[in-house]
Amino acid sequence: MTQQNKKIDEEALAEAYNRALSFEKSGNLDAAATAYAEVLTLDPEDHGGAAVRLASMGRGETPLKAPDAYVATLFDQHADVFENVLVDQLDYCVPLLVRQRLQALGLGPFQRVLDLGCGTGLTGGALRDMADDITGIDLSENMVEIAHEKDVYETLYVAEAVDFLDDNDEAPFDLIVATDVLPYMGALEALFFGAVDNLVPGGLLIFSSETLPAETFAGRDYMVGPHQRFAHSEAYLRDRLTATGFEIIEIGDITVRMEEGEPIAGQLVVARFKL
């Protein structure tokens, strides 16, 4: 592909994406769906998350996960303002909730901790004094650079969570944490099996999820919600964890964040890998 053609493609992509957004905002979902399909044709890797937006509109099949290119682009673009927006504007406090629940349940301290989707290091910072060694993983290179500057982690990788779990051949962990990771995944089998492969016997998995009312799920295990993030039913979480070999210690209802002035319902799950 020549540089000239690449530029033309990018211009066409931007035009199609902006057209799709405009149709979506105006409520013309048929036209928006057509334009998002055009976006996917122009950009099969889906840096703009067109497949997720289609699913949130109830058009097209629900993807198994948000595209890696979309997640990396989204967080690369917002890395510099991430903490200010998430913590100060959206009242995000899941990392502190993780710390509180671990302490309340009498769990820890930990030798080796894996922080999946570590972002700028909010969860690593919350658990720093509870762990000897913390490894952080994130798809966004810009996020990992900010986390590195905080000197919270012994090791940091730019990687997709399931890919890392599949490829890792280092010593197993006694705690794996995934805060604000499930909203970018639909099917969870690969994540849970990957966690099992990287935990010591009796090791812990703790994660947050977003959820919706049962009538909204309408029998589905997971779906893309109105804010383009995946929501999971509690029954699905319980079923997949049990099938993978986990014992559920606790599932608690939490407010994950605020969105447009409304609380986003979610859950905080603590599970133990049992042989």
* pLDDT band at 6; cut points 50, 70, 90: very low
pLDDT tens-digit map of 17-37:
899 889 988 999 999 999 999
> Rounded CA gap, 151 and 117, in Å?
17
The domain 81-273 is classified under which CATH number: 3.40.50.1000, 3.40.50.11260, 3.40.33.10, 3.40.50.150? Answer: 3.40.50.150
> Rounded CA gap, 220 and 216, in Å?
9
pLDDT tens-digit map of 130-154:
999 999 999 999 999 999 999 999 9
Least confident range from 5-14, 47-56, 162-171: namely: 5-14
Taking the CA of residue 270 as centre, how many other CA atoms within 13 Å lie in the half-sphere pointing to its CB?
19
Q: Taking residues 219-243, what's their average pLDDT? A: 96
> Rounded CA gap, 153 and 135, in Å?
6
In the predicted model, is pLDDT for residue 8 greater than 60? no
**If you search the block for the tokens 């559920």, which residue do you land on?**
248
> Rounded CA gap, 126 and 104, in Å?
15
Measured CA to CA in angstroms, residue 198 lies from 21, 152, 168, 178, 183 at distances of: 41, 21, 8, 14, 22
**If you search the block for the tokens 């993983």, which residue do you land on?**
137
**Closest C-alpha among 179, 216, 9 to residue 87:** 179
Structure tokens, 74: 């989204």
Taking the CA of residue 12 as centre, how many other CA atoms within 13 Å lie in the half-sphere pointing to its CB?
13
In the predicted model, is pLDDT for residue 164 greater than 90? yes
- Tell me if residue 80 falls in helix, strand or coil: helix
* pLDDT band at 7; cut points 50, 70, 90: very low
Across the chain, the runs of DSSP E, i.e. the strands, are 110-116, 131-138, 155-158, 173-178, 199-210, 222-224, 230-232, 246-259, 262-273
**CB neighbour list of residue 92: distance below 8 Å, 6 or more residues apart:** 86, 122, 180, 256, 257
In the chain, where the domains are located: 3-63, 81-273
Contact 76, 140 (CB under 8 A): yes
Q: pTM of the full predicted structure? A: 0.91
**Plot region of 219 (φ>0 → left; ψ -120 to 50 → alpha; else → beta):** left
**CB neighbour list of residue 170: distance below 8 Å, 6 or more residues apart:** none
pLDDT tens-digit map of 32-88:
999 999 999 999 999 999 999 999 998 878 999 999 999 999 888 888 887 887 877
Torsion of CA 95, 98, 104, 108, to 10 degrees: -100
Question: Would you call the peptide bond into 109 cis, given omega within 30 degrees of 0 as the criterion?
Answer: yes
